[in-house]
């Protein structure tokens, strides 16, 4: 399965920095920022807690079975990198 990867950087009002990738199916590419916000909310970070954020297309790749399962279940997959 082909997926689009969105490189995402978030700085919270309390100074935390989070760097993660949002993986989505090509048909859901317009929802990458929505999925990032959903994932942040699941971590207790609401929109009003975010000072700066950037979520931009990085590249496309073939998904692993784990990523494909996550996409089928919730529509997106997160790869945590920094501060997560």
15-41: per-residue pLDDT in tens? Answer: 999 999 999 999 999 999 999 999 999
- H/E element holding 66? helix 65-74
**Cα 74 off chain centre by:** 12
The ranges assigned to domains in the chain are: 2-82
How much is the CA Rg of the chain, to the nearest whole Å? 12
What pTM did the predictor assign? 0.93
Q: At 11, list the tokens.
A: 């700085």
CATH number of 2-82, picked from 3.90.470.10, 1.10.1060.10, 3.10.450.50, 3.10.510.10: 3.10.510.10
Residue 81's pLDDT is: 97
Residue 28's φ and ψ, nearest 5 degrees, are: -105, 15
């Amino acid at each position: 399965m082909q997926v689009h990867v969105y490189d995402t950087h978030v700085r919270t009002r309390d100074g935390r920095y989070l760097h993660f990738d949002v993986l989505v199916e090509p048909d859901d590419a317009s929802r990458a920022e929505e999925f990032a916000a959903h994932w942040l909310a699941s971590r207790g970070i609401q929109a009003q807690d975010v000072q700066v954020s950037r979520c931009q297309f990085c590249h496309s790749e073939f998904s692993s079975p784990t990523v494909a399962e996550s996409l089928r279940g919730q529509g997106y997959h997160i790869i945590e990198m920094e501060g997560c």
